[in-house]
Structure 1
């Protein structure tokens, strides 16, 4: 059953302060990782520069890798909420397609297109620990999406398969663009091709799973 869309409540002052602290820690960590490399920076150093305790860092980021790959929880929330909060006549794939195009249009980090992302992915490629965590993050999104589909799209015979194929398709489009940026191409020259591949990916998915809401 699809939930009706509701206005998001404004976060409390306490929640806003927590979000600001989390963002400050992440920004400090990212700056250090970019300057010196992921493996050369310790959590204790991040805590010192961010002016918090190491325990506070771990309260927000369970692992060092999460300091850099800090958008995994956001990806889980965006994908699952797109499905759970879609319109009553909107299919899960239509909602996910709209999300993907919206992220692209906003040049959101999870959308895959910004010239700064090349620096980000170069650090990930150079670190086995970050590459492993990135793979785990993809699995977390896939599992959460499967759960959301199982709860809201009973017409799908295999929500886990649908989630796996959808995430794999999105990742494939994202990775092609990331590799081309790592090779030196600019985001402005890639955006149209990225959008075409996204649309083609969702067209193919709808051909397999249908468009019923």
Structure 2
């Protein structure tokens, strides 16, 4: 059961994040200061930094929430299920849910969020690559439980790259104005192709 203190912490965390992303999408990431975010969220600047280590993390925590997810999928897969098959199934489930992490979500704010991260603020992309490196390391650790270290590291790198390419492709198709239903069909086909290559 979540205590009152933890609930309050979650509320403040969400309030800061919401204020930050609203301001960044409206004015641009580089045009908004941390002080402005803190004021909009109704907290002090020191309090903000207790929740978010960097300005970039105000944006990327929504992606960072998925850190370690691939490693968990591998470790919690069904008996007899191969790691790549478990990861494929998980990604396809994300597409079916239109999980923003897969890029297959046409909510205008989600589309604008991806544009900001990938094209409008180089510091965000740099920080994202740090998160992805940590995710790759965690996945390699999970894969190493059933494979040699080199195989685990090579496969982890390929999985993370495949997920990134697929998600960015989905976002780009939606950003180009393609209908969601049409993009979803292509996204599933592309995921099958990508994970099929990993299996091979």
Q: Same fold (TM over 0.5)?
A: yes
List runs of 5+ in structure 1 lacking aligned partners.
1-9, 208-213
Query: Which stretches of structure 1, 4 residues or longer, exceed 6 Å deviation after superposition?
Result: none
Does 2:96 align with 1:102?
Answer: no
1:164-210 per-position Cα deviation (integer Å, ceiling 9, x unaligned): 01111111111212222232223332011001111111111111xxx
Does 2:172 align with 1:192?
Answer: no
Match of 2:139 among 127, 130, 145: 145
Contact 1:121 1:182 in 2 (8 A): no
Q: 1:97 and 1:63, CA in 2 relative to 1: closer, same or farther beyond 3 A?
A: same
Matches of residues 111-150 of structure 1 in structure 2 within 5 Å? Answer: 111-115=102-106, 116=108, 117-124=110-117, 125-150=119-144
Query: By percentage of residues, which structure has more helix?
Result: 2
Q: 1:73 and 1:155, CA in 2 relative to 1: closer, same or farther beyond 3 A?
A: same
The equivalent residue for 1:62 is 53
Does 2:15 align with 1:21?
Answer: no
The equivalent residue for 2:77 is 86
Q: 1:157 and 1:19, CA in 2 relative to 1: closer, same or farther beyond 3 A?
A: same
SS of structure 1 residue aligned to 2:56: helix
Cα offset, 1:130, TM superposition: 1.4
Contact 1:92 1:153 in 2 (8 A): no
TM-score (norm 2): 0.89
TM-score (norm 1): 0.84
Compute the RMSD of aligned alpha carbons: 1.9
Contact 1:29 1:68 in 2 (8 A): yes
List runs of 5+ in structure 2 lacking aligned partners.
none
Measured in 1, the distance between the counterparts of 2:74 and 2:23 equals 36
The equivalent residue for 1:76 is 67
The equivalent residue for 1:7 is none
